[in-house]
Structure 1
Amino acid sequence: MRARVSIFIIWTAFAAIGAEADTIHLKNGRKILADQVRENGNHYQYEIGDDSYAIPKSLVDHVDAGGPPASVATAGIPKVADLPTFAPADSLANEGDLVGKIIKEGKVDPNALSTLDGKGNAELSATASFIAGKFEFEHGNINEARRYFEGALRFQPENSTILIYYAALLVRTGNAAQALPYTQRAVRAAPNSPDAYTMLGYAQFASDRTKDAIASWKHSLSLRPDATVQQFLAKAQREENTETDFAQRESTHFVLHYEGRQTSESLRAQILSALESDYDDLVRDLGTPPRDNILVTLYTEQAFFDVTRAPSWSGALNDGKLRIPISGVSSMTSELARVLKHELAHSFINQLSAGRCPPWLHEGIAQLLEPRNLGRDGRALAQLFKTQRNIPLNVLEGSFMRFYGTEAYVAYAESLAAVSYINDSYGMSDVQRILQLLSQGSSPEAALRATIHSDYGQLESDLAKYLADKYGN
């Protein structure tokens, strides 16, 4: 019997690989490979894997049947890893008994939720909504998770587990200030919960209350040892030691930390003025700004350098704060102004994508908005794509901290090239739309397909042509 099952699985796999797909030929010469295409009024509806998309007929030249299935062609590409997020260990008493009733075929069953709500039991309804929210949260569907968690809190507003998860969602989406009161309520409701104190520490640290975060994490560790919490505690203690002598200055959208003995009032004023101007520019270019004031730390003991292409600098400290080394700088320069705008752009991108933007898109948008162009790098990059020696975009979904020297330089250049192509061909509105889809839980490729109708393979092909046309290779 086991042999028959194995043969069936192998046969099924080969059948899937051999299945035919349809190809949409666009009038601009591009192609879209889809599992299935059908007409729907003035649009062609096409499917790739579990996702469905539409494209106006006016853009299509013709459709051919046949070819390898698109879902197989893109299978196995690693997805962008979520930023490290806090996963509470706490659960609700009757959670396990209800999961199977609420989560069916990999989705939340709204009918099951309605049935449970109809029983008139507040605890049962809270648990059901919490299970749905937890499922969506763990699958990156932030908007749905938020709706379910808020529903659960309406039934049990002082349930520590629900409060902890809701606070974790708020911190993850860049709303640490909003998360603080929920974490404080969680601690009051469950004073012996290490998860509650851990989450309180995260919210405090992200809100620039480093000293309070240190105390919270120490208390959490006294209740339960945890290697991750220990690492964050060590980081907070290092930062607290660094910033002990820092003074503070505020503007409309920024809280600026600086070491008063070594930075002039004139430079601080120039930096805040530049940031406020950049803020207005980025609101115009990207739309929704960060909800909370943005924390900026000036490091006066570290010589100024271009942090925007330093993976070890930006990647290791990606927690929503702007950190700028300024030793040796006495007044605003064009390079410092560019660095400030680049780093501020990351805060906007993080907010718009709910922390789900892949590094290549993050860095590409930030560079474009500095503004930076490919310049002399364009010709060399065109040659890399022509000879297929470029770094694949799916590889650039991972942290840039793995890259060094020339490889890091190429990673940033490719990121800028990809975003420049999207912006030049489709406009900044489609860049915004990609970020919005990411915030709703779409994978990077799914977001690209839904906006510019390209997967990574097609985008790289289009990018190669774009570079060749623009830079003569």
Structure 2
Amino acid sequence: MRRCGVAGNTVTSLSVQRKLFLPLVFLVTLAVISPAFANDPVLHNDYALKLLEQGEYEKGLEHFQRAFAFSPYDETLRKNLAEAYTYVGMRQMEQKLYDAAADSFDHARELFPEAPRYAVLRGIALHAVKRYEGAIHELERARSLGETSPELYYHLGRAYYDSDNLALALEMWEKGLELDPARAAIRELADKARRELALEGRMDKGYSSRFSLSYDTELKSLLAGEILDVLEAAYNRVGADLGYFPDARVQVLLYTKKDFKALTDSPDWSGGLYDGKIRIPLGGATGMTALLRNVLVHEYTHVVVFEMTKGNCPTWLNEGLAELEGRKEFNQPMAELGRVARRGGYVSFQLLERPFSTLSDKQVALAYQQSYALVNFMVGRYGWHKIQEILRLLGTGKPVADAIGVALADYGVDYSGVVQEWQGNMTREYGVPEHPSPE
């Protein structure tokens, strides 16, 4: 029997007043820990539960750690600590802090190395930061420990797919469908992989330090080398502008226009696509052109923006940056923007936050030109360092209005203020609009 310091209270077992961490269905009465009980694992455990109820997850984890340190052979404390790491990791995933989440799940796995769940979670987190080899290692570890769920095969397939192993990706997704044929998401990925395998089976490949290139056999190998050179140059230039250099090798696929349309179902005006891989309809091109350099740099910019923002980027900013970088290679005319600047009728930037595929064909050209013009203005007015800050803030999950407001606070402007300043600049350049803008 061990005597606690609270007057009249006796604790005979560490299992007294203790409940498993997840789900959070408990009531805890302790509000503070007296210094007299600083070495009591039960009180640290119960106080940790209280902190978790209050949303103070990191502090709660700290007290679970203390409780376990005082009684490292207690199985319930071990489980509570592992689940605390897991809960913190899930919160970090929600906040797009994927590296930190991977570390949290790793701590949980260290406590229960034979439990496949923690390896699955760590694999998902590593995949999110494009650490594909690590993700595959963790997910395959979970499989070796007996995990055979459709979720495992879904994520393992994605990791193989993104590491350019279509055959193994398809194999994993087919195993997932064997377990649950109704999983629409897995079936769609499997169907896509089959179509890609049929095309890539007749493709040649090329590699550089940062890129892997798959191209239709109609394309001359000499041009393939020039394409890789353009992309390597883009890696350095776009990286310098945006302050970010991706670690993972970027996959680039060049198709005939017919195959590109059949595979991606992109609108007719699309000159390329980034969906985790750069896909470009090239057909039988025989030489490098300024327009092709524009397209390659444009699509590579999407890679950098996606990684910096973790996909949380309004389309106008994403496309505006890609246009800005691509136009350094080939600056196409801006006829639609000039017409609208003189007559009025800009497309709302709130509308341009959504994919341009939702726009009418008449609006698309203006959408690209308007996005480029605003981003070009922002770079000139506020500097690249502010663009980088906006992208980093978007990467933490902030809405675009909040990201712009925080980054440009020292200029005293918010999202709408930036648009108004840009419109004022357009008016000075093109003259007073005949009709008011919808902005």
TM-score of the superposed pair, with normalisation by structure 1: 0.72
Aligned mate of 1:344, from 291, 296, 300? 300
Letter in structure 1 aligned against 2:23:
G
Deviation at 1:214, TM superposition (A): 0.5
Aligned mate of 1:270, from 216, 226, 234? 226
Q: C-alpha distance in 1, partners of 2:89/2:80?
A: 14
The reply on whether 1:249 has 2:206 as its aligned counterpart is yes
Q: C-alpha distance in 1, partners of 2:243/2:24?
A: 43
Letter in structure 2 aligned against 1:115:
H
Contact 1:289 1:351 survives alignment (8 Å): no
The reply on whether 1:320 has 2:276 as its aligned counterpart is yes
**Which residue matches 2:194?**
237
Alpha carbons of 1:256 and 1:431: their partners in 2 closer, same or farther (altered >3 Å)? same
Q: C-alpha distance in 2, partners of 1:369/1:156?
A: 48
**Which residue matches 2:338?**
379
Aligned mate of 2:89, from 121, 133, 136? 133
Deviation at 1:347, TM superposition (A): 0.9
Aligned mate of 1:457, from 416, 419, 428? 416
Alpha carbons of 1:150 and 1:430: their partners in 2 closer, same or farther (altered >3 Å)? farther
Secondary structure of 1:95 counterpart: coil
Contact 1:143 1:440 survives alignment (8 Å): no
Deviation at 1:395, TM superposition (A): 2.4
Q: C-alpha distance in 2, partners of 1:186/1:312?
A: 43
Aligned mate of 1:189, from 138, 142, 145? 145
Unaligned stretches of 5+ in structure 1?
1-92
Identity of aligned residues (%): 28
Q: C-alpha distance in 2, partners of 1:395/1:295?
A: 31
**Which residue matches 1:469?**
428
Deviation at 1:145, TM superposition (A): 3.7
Greater RCO, CA 8 A, separation 6+: 1
Deviation at 1:190, TM superposition (A): 3.4
Q: C-alpha distance in 2, partners of 1:273/1:359?
A: 28
Cα deviation, 1:162-212, whole Å, max 9, x if unaligned, reads 333333333333333442212212222233222111110011111111111
Deviation at 1:238, TM superposition (A): 1.0
Deviation at 1:461, TM superposition (A): 1.4
Secondary structure of 1:118 counterpart: helix
Alpha carbons of 1:425 and 1:317: their partners in 2 closer, same or farther (altered >3 Å)? closer
Aligned mate of 1:96, from 13, 18, 23? 23
Secondary structure of 2:252 counterpart: strand
Q: C-alpha distance in 2, partners of 1:104/1:96?
A: 11
Unaligned stretches of 5+ in structure 2?
1-19, 27-48, 69-76, 433-439
Alpha carbons of 1:392 and 1:172: their partners in 2 closer, same or farther (altered >3 Å)? farther
Deviation at 1:98, TM superposition (A): 6.6
Alpha carbons of 1:382 and 1:135: their partners in 2 closer, same or farther (altered >3 Å)? same
**Which residue matches 1:226?**
183
Aligned mate of 1:217, from 162, 173, 176? 173
Q: C-alpha distance in 1, partners of 2:298/2:430?
A: 25
Choose between structure 1 and 2: higher strand proportion: 1
Secondary structure of 1:330 counterpart: coil
Contact 2:226 2:288 survives alignment (8 Å): yes
Alpha carbons of 1:439 and 1:128: their partners in 2 closer, same or farther (altered >3 Å)? same
Aligned mate of 1:117, from 59, 65, 71? 65
Contact 1:140 1:440 survives alignment (8 Å): yes
Alpha carbons of 1:460 and 1:199: their partners in 2 closer, same or farther (altered >3 Å)? same
Q: C-alpha distance in 1, partners of 2:325/2:319?
A: 10
**Which residue matches 1:397?**
353
Q: C-alpha distance in 1, partners of 2:273/2:50?
A: 41
Deviation at 1:268, TM superposition (A): 1.2
Q: C-alpha distance in 1, partners of 2:50/2:332?
A: 53
Q: C-alpha distance in 2, partners of 1:235/1:336?
A: 26
Alpha carbons of 1:361 and 1:354: their partners in 2 closer, same or farther (altered >3 Å)? same
Alpha carbons of 1:290 and 1:437: their partners in 2 closer, same or farther (altered >3 Å)? same
Q: C-alpha distance in 1, partners of 2:312/2:337?
A: 28
Letter in structure 2 aligned against 1:357:
C
**Which residue matches 2:118?**
162
Contact 1:445 1:455 survives alignment (8 Å): yes
Letter in structure 2 aligned against 1:258:
Y
Contact 2:273 2:280 survives alignment (8 Å): no
Letter in structure 1 aligned against 2:22:
E
294-303 or 329-338, which moves further after superposition?
294-303
Deviation at 1:404, TM superposition (A): 2.8
Letter in structure 2 aligned against 1:230:
R
Q: C-alpha distance in 2, partners of 1:311/1:251?
A: 30
Q: How does 1:324-335 map to 2 (within 5 A)?
A: 324-335=280-291
Q: C-alpha distance in 1, partners of 2:189/2:50?
A: 37
Secondary structure of 1:97 counterpart: coil
TM-score of the superposed pair, with normalisation by structure 2: 0.77
Letter in structure 2 aligned against 1:231:
E
Deviation at 1:278, TM superposition (A): 1.7
Q: C-alpha distance in 1, partners of 2:59/2:364?
A: 50
Q: C-alpha distance in 1, partners of 2:82/2:256?
A: 50
Letter in structure 1 aligned against 2:320:
G
Contact 1:221 1:229 survives alignment (8 Å): yes
The reply on whether 1:407 has 2:373 as its aligned counterpart is no
**Which residue matches 2:43?**
none
Q: C-alpha distance in 2, partners of 1:108/1:163?
A: 25
The reply on whether 1:429 has 2:429 as its aligned counterpart is no
Secondary structure of 1:248 counterpart: strand
- Which of these two proteins has the greater Rg computed from alpha carbons? 2
**Which residue matches 1:285?**
241
| Number of residues of Structure 1 aligned to a counterpart in Structure 2 | 372
Q: C-alpha distance in 1, partners of 2:241/2:129?
A: 20
Q: C-alpha distance in 1, partners of 2:91/2:243?
A: 29
Q: Which runs of 4+ in 1 moved over 6 A?
A: 312-316
